[in-house]
């Protein structure tokens, strides 16, 4: 009788060792679908710039990142926004959304998992929000002049009165909403 050379692992695992289980793949796919759906919920939250809209898709990716790690959070961001292109062709907007969301999700997930508890979550959100804010400003300086008639000087003039307040408000909403739903979702995923 031949003996198996495979290491012991979850019977539903797609790979040996630390691979992703079929359950984790299925849950990640659900996170991607939910992130895609919520990306179409666009709410103007900053009256001085009604063209800048908030969507809660990053909350879904952030919860996924906190539950399964930064790679999963980044996958949820990227896949949901790439699929978003099929329904609403806006490559520049998608690029900016991916950059903004990944730059929040990855640092937040890394720090929260390393430090643990509420302190780790708060620290992760603070660092992730600071990095994301910087990425949003830089991306606006680079990308906005490429696809609009707005000059770099005009974008620079919008940084303090429009871009910083809008992005701070957006990041605050993402972090507060995530803090509210992350605990119950994590408990449901553990069960």
Listed range (14-18, 28-32, 154-158) with the worst mean pLDDT: 14-18
- 39: Cβ contacts below 8 Å, ≥ 6 apart: 55, 57, 80, 81, 84, 97
| Cα angle value 108/109/110 (rounded, 5°) | 95
88 or 114, higher pLDDT = 114
Q: In the predicted model, what is the mean pLDDT of residues 57-86?
A: 96
- CA distances (Å), origin 76, targets 58, 72, 105, 169: 9, 6, 10, 22
The average pLDDT across 21-32 equals 93
Position 54 confidence tier, pLDDT thresholds 50, 70, 90: very high
CB distance 47 to 92 below 8 Å: no
pTM of the model: 0.87
């Amino acid at each position: 009788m031949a003996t198996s050379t495979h290491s012991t692992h979850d019977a539903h695992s797609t790979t040996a060792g630390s691979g992703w289980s079929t359950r984790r793949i299925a849950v990640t796919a659900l996170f991607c679908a939910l992130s895609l759906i919520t990306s179409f919920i666009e709410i103007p939250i900053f009256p001085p710039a009604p063209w800048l809209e908030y969507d809660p898709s990053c909350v879904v990716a952030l919860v996924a990142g906190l539950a399964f790690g930064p790679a999963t959070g980044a996958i949820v961001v990227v896949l949901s926004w790439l699929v978003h292109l099929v329904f609403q062709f806006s490559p520049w907007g998608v690029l900016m959304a991916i950059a903004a969301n990944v730059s929040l999700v990855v640092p937040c997930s890394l720090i929260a998992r390393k430090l643990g508890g509420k302190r780790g979550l708060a620290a992760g959100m603070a660092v992730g929000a600071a990095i994301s804010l910087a990425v949003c400003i830089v991306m606006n300086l680079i990308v906005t002049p490429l696809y609009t008639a707005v000059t770099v000087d005009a974008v620079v003039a919008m940084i303090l009165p429009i871009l910083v307040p809008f992005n701070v408000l957006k990041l605050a909403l993402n972090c507060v909403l995530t803090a509210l739903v992350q605990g119950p979702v994590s408990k449901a995923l553990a069960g």
